[in-house]
């Protein structure tokens, strides 16, 4: 999980990752934190309305914790709801590969892993700002068997993940058996 928050832009220099336009000074923006190897986070910024497109889960969590007045909160919540509905229904546990991956901490051992590391993802309740969301949480491939304790896990993951190229399939099998 990254660290997400809504704040007023401190300067007019940040750009929105979605629309690539500048975010005006003092405008509310969503920061999505990415864990760094040596601690701390680097932040990526979004206009709140833009975040409803691809960062809607992070926005929803940030709104739950937010104490600032958000003038368009109703419109944002409608945008989040539309994005959630538009998502293809994914089945879990599944494997996530390559470009879909951020840095992460394994929910089992807590170790930090690089972006693009293959990981197993399961749905777990995550409580943010007093609200609980079902969210995908990452597990190291090598930790998944122990964490989930399911003897059929490898087959389930392969089935849920869909097409996997030969290289990744071999790697997954070697890592999970």
> In the window 48-67, what residues touch Zn ion (CB under 5 A)?
50
Q: What values do phi and psi take at 153, rounded to 5? A: -55, -45
Q: Does 121 bind Zn ion (CB under 5 A)?
A: no
Q: Does 143 bind Zn ion (CB under 5 A)?
A: yes
In whole angstroms, give the CA distance from residue 162 to residue 8.
41
From 17-25, 89-97, 154-162, 167-175, give the range in contact with Zn ion by CB under 5 A: 17-25
Smallest distance, Zn ion to C-beta of residue 141, A: 9
- Cβ proximity to Zn ion: between 16 and 57 the closer is 16
Q: What values do phi and psi take at 13, rounded to 5? A: -95, -15
Q: Does 26 bind Zn ion (CB under 5 A)?
A: no
From 34-42, 43-51, 52-60, 129-137, give the range in contact with Zn ion by CB under 5 A: 43-51
Q: Does 47 bind Zn ion (CB under 5 A)?
A: yes
In whole angstroms, give the CA distance from residue 139 to residue 121.
6
CB contact at 8 A, 146 and 139? no
- What are the Cα distances from residue 159, in Å, to 8, 93, 99, 136? 44, 10, 20, 17
Q: Does 106 bind Zn ion (CB under 5 A)?
A: yes
| Interface residues toward Zn ion, by CB under 5 A | 16, 18-19, 47, 50, 106, 108-109, 140, 143
């Amino acid at each position: 999980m990254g660290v997400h928050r809504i704040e007023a832009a401190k300067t007019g220099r940040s750009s929105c990752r979605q629309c690539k336009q500048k975010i005006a000074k003092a405008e509310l923006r969503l920061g999505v934190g990415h864990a760094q190897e040596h601690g701390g986070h680097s932040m990526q910024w979004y206009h709140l309305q833009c975040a409803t497109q691809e960062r809607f889960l992070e926005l929803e969590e940030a709104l739950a914790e937010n104490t600032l007045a958000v003038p368009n909160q109703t419109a944002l919540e409608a945008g989040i709801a539309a994005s959630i509905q538009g998502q293809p229904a994914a089945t879990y546990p599944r494997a996530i590969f390559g470009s879909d991956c951020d840095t992460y901490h394994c929910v089992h051992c807590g170790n930090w892993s690089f972006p693009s590391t293959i990981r197993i993802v399961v749905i777990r309740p995550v409580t943010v700002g007093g609200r609980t969301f079902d969210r995908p949480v990452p597990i190291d491939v090598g930790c998944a068997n122990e964490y989930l304790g399911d003897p059929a896990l490898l087959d389930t993951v392969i089935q849920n993940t869909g097409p996997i190229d030969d290289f990744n399939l071999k790697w997954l099998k070697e890592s999970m058996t």
